Amino acid sequence: CHGFDSGYDITKKEGVESLLSEIENLFGLERLKMIHLNDSKYPLGAAKDRHERIGSGFIGEAGFAVFFSFKEVQRIPWILETPGGNEEHAEDIKKVFEIIEKYRIEVD
């Protein structure tokens, strides 16, 4: 969400590549220790960090499928940062696995 909120269109391959390239150039991907995982309540580049449940915001399921398909993203731990309590968080975790299966994403 933070990258999306900042204008990186992680719903498209080119957007993820651009974000990863910038991270690499600024401080190196090896120094990126985790990813906050949440959808966005606002559209691309809105500069409003408002979290939404996985697949329910402007990134959406197809957008997450693109993001999840990158090996660089898969190698970094994800920290769920969605609204709600334990039940909603369990549903969001399930949704992540559903997206991976639905879009046949190969995971290392």
Q: Which residue ranges make up the annotated binding site for Zn(2+)?
A: 2, 36, 49, 51, 81
**What is the b/e burial string over 7-37, where b = at least 16 CB atoms within 10 angstroms of the residue's CB?**
ebbbbeeebbebbbeebeeeeeeeebeebeb
Q: Which amino acid is at 69?
A: S
Binding residues: 2, 36, 49, 51, 81
